[in-house]
């Protein structure tokens, strides 16, 4: 099993946040994605997976879950990055807290990739994503071939009724 950090040629961190998730009976990336789907990221719901019990926002916030999804300690799973991009736009997530936690948990490179895509392609969330980028360390813009393309973070309706609609950033549904 290759970790996300190894896939990005980084040192794999040991995350206390992952340990916290295990204490809450969340074991691995599949359970993180399943929890995010119960919290509104229905685009990533997999009916084949057993239902998961949500420990509640007081025990594990959406900010923490977003960072769990992009933790370098996890196995490499592009769907988790896509799910994190959607969950990050939850109404209860503060961009400063998200960026700060990403830095502490060494997930800032992946969050920067998501935020850069959001700043360019999420019309309604541009202010949010710009605030995230402002709080992250300056990073050289680089191609991230192992991270999902921005088009995987949006819904692209295509050609309908004689016109093309603009892509819409996926956000959690209530």
Q: Tell whether the model's pLDDT for residue 96 goes beyond 90.
A: yes
Q: Which residues pair with 3 in a beta bridge?
A: 75
Whole-number pLDDT of residue 157? 83
* Structure tokens, 28: 């691995």
- Higher local confidence (pLDDT), 65 or 52: 65
pLDDT at 62: 98
Q: What is the pLDDT of residues 114-160, one digit of tens each?
A: 999 999 999 999 999 999 999 999 876 667 788 898 989 998 887 77
Could you tell me what percent of the chain has a pLDDT over 90?
63
Angle ∠(79,158,123) on CA atoms, nearest 5:
70
Helices (H), 70-149: 78-87, 95-104, 108-121, 126-135
pLDDT over 70 for what percent of the chain?
92
Q: Are 169 and 122 in contact (CB under 8 A)?
A: yes
């Amino acid at each position: 099993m290759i970790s996300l950090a190894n896939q990005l040629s980084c040192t794999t961190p040991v995350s206390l946040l992952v340990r916290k998730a295990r204490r809450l009976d969340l074991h691995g990336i599949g359970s993180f994605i399943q929890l995010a789907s119960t919290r509104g990221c229905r685009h990533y719901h997999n009916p084949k997976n057993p239902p998961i019990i949500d420990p509640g926002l007081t025990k594990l916030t959406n900010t923490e879950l977003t960072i769990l999804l992009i933790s370098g300690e996890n196995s490499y799973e592009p769907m988790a990055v896509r799910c994190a991009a959607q969950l990050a736009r939850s109404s209860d997530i503060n961009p400063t807290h998200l960026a700060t936690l990403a830095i502490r948990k060494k997930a800032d490179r992946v969050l920067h990739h998501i935020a850069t895509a959001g700043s360019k392609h999420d019309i309604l969330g541009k202010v949010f994503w710009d605030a995230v980028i402002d709080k992250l360390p300056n990073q050289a813009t680089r191609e991230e071939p192992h991270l999902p393309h921005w088009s995987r973070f949006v819904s692209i309706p295509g050609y309908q009724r004689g016109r093309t609609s603009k892509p819409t950033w996926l956000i959690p549904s209530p």
